């Protein structure tokens, strides 16, 4: 029997959030990685840093572009995906699993209500 996973939520800036209890895993959407092309570098906060919703939490770089990564929620970073930092192309090949970026302790669960569902995000990105 397949294990059910928590649904993904998305920010308007193409960051996904998967809530796991009082923590959330964050990553970049398949749409964003496709738009960026081959990811060559990531800059992410350190464990213990606090990220704030709607503020810069890092940077993504590809051969063609560089873009800030905006935090979808506020929280303390409890884990950083070192494998993705060392192999940024994981964001291209596996954006929703192996290419995750951060695990954060959720500071304000109310911020999750500002995010959109996977279906709403799909509609948003197919209109582009």
**Residue 41 falls inside a structural domain:** yes
Is pLDDT of 9 > 90?
A: yes
**Residue 96 falls inside a structural domain:** yes
| H helix count then E strand count, the chain | 4, 10
Supply the pLDDT for residue 6. Answer: 83
**Residue 2 falls inside a structural domain:** no
CATH code, 61: 2.40.50.100
pTM: 0.93
**How many domains are there within the chain?**
1
**Residue 128 falls inside a structural domain:** no
Is pLDDT of 1 > 50?
A: no
**Residue 25 falls inside a structural domain:** yes
**Residue 1 falls inside a structural domain:** no
Domain that holds residue 114: 9-122
Q: Give the list of residues 6+ apart from residue 52 with CB closer than 8 angstroms, or none.
A: 71, 74
Q: pLDDT band for 67, please (50, 70, 90 cuts).
A: very high
Q: CA 111: distance to chain centroid?
A: 15
Task: List pLDDT tens digits, range 29-52.
Answer: 999 999 999 999 999 999 999 999
């Amino acid at each position: 029997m397949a294990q059910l996973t928590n649904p993904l939520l998305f920010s308007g800036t193409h960051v996904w959030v998967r809530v796991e209890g009082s923590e959330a895993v964050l990553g970049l959407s398949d749409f964003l990685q496709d738009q960026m092309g081959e990811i060559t570098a990531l800059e992410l906060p350190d464990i213990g840093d606090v990220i704030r919703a709607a503020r810069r939490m890092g940077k993504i770089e590809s051969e063609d572009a560089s873009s800030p990564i905006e935090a979808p929620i506020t929280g303390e970073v409890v884990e950083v995906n070192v494998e993705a930092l060392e192999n940024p192309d994981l964001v291209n090949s596996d954006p929703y699993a192996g290419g995750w970026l951060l695990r954060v302790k959720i500071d304000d669960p109310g911020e999750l209500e500002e995010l959109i569902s996977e279906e709403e995000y799909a509609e948003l990105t197919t209109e582009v």
